[in-house]
């Protein structure tokens, strides 16, 4: 019995992800060729994407991490976000690239963007692996997008269900029996 047995469908294969991340790395290297950006990423879902993305570019970049808790125990996004781990360095005057695993309602990112802008960076751009536009509740401009996906609850490549499946090397959809029927809401 392995984690693969719980996967009903693979939406994005390892090869597809690897290829697209490499392209994003090239795009970033081109657009930031004269700058030293700070990649701001949100724990924990983005760690796998971040780890691959930074190795797909040879830019002189740095990394900072935040951890946000969203929604408490509720299954629906409420936009109420708490900071569990703050940035460790100053971002004033810096060029930021926010690296996100997935943008769903957009409420988490909306909160994060307001928080970052208050610290007066020189610029803020957004790089997300997955865009799930069907449930978007805020207007967010995504500068670098890996893939647009349908309104399915996905796991793998850093994304979890109940803290499991982050180590799947692909993006997949779980068998309904794993969460007892309907797909979970985030």
**For binding to ligand IMP (CB under 6 A), which residues are involved?**
45, 70, 77, 101-109, 153-155, 159, 186
Nearer Cβ to ligand IMP, position 57 or 77?
A: 77
Render 89-116 in DSSP notation, one character per residue: S--TT-EEEEEEEEESSSHHHHHHHHHH
CB of 37 to ligand IMP, least distance (A): 20
Least separation in angstroms between residue 135's CB and ligand IMP is 7
Cβ distance to ligand IMP smaller for residue 59 or 113: 113
Catalytic residues: 104
Closest CA to 111 of 156, 145, 146, 69: 69
* Contact call for residues 173 and 153 (beta carbons, < 8 A): yes
Kind of pairing between the strands at 62-70 and 81-85 = antiparallel
**Angle at which helices 47-54 and 14-31 pack, to 10 degrees?**
60
Pairing of strands 95-103, 38-43: parallel
Rounded to a whole number of angstroms, the minimum distance from the CB of residue 176 to ligand IMP is: 14
Whole-angstrom Cα distance, residue 67 to residue 59? Answer: 24
Q: What gap in Å lies between CA 146 and CA 16, rounded to an integer?
A: 10
Residue placing its CB nearer to ligand IMP in the complex, 59 or 103 = 103
Q: How far is the CB of 70 from ligand IMP (least distance, A)?
A: 6
Instruction: Kindly tell me which of 29 and 147 has the beta carbon lying closer to ligand IMP.
Output: 147
């Amino acid at each position: 019995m392995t984690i693969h047995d719980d996967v009903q469908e693979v939406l994005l294969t390892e090869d597809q992800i690897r290829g697209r991340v490499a392209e994003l790395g090239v795009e970033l290297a081109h657009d930031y060729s004269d700058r030293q950006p700070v990649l701001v990423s949100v724990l924990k879902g983005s760690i796998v994407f971040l780890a691959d993305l930074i190795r797909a570019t040879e830019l002189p970049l740095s990394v900072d991490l935040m951890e946000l808790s969203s929604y408490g125990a509720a299954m629906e996004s409420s936009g109420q976000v708490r900071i569990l781990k703050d940035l460790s360095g100053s971002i004033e005057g810096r060029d930021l690239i926010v690296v996100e695993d997935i943008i769903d309602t957009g409420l988490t990112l909306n909160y994060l963007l307001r928080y970052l802008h208050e610290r007066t960076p020189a610029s803020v751009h957004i790089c997300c692996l997955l865009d799930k536009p069907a449930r978007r509740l805020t207007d967010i401009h995504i500068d670098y997008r890996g893939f647009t996906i349908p309104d399915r609850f996905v796991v793998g490549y850093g994304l979890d269900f109940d803290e499991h499946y982050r180590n799947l090397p692909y993006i997949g959809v779980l068998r309904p029996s794993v969460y007892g029927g309907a797909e979970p809401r985030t």
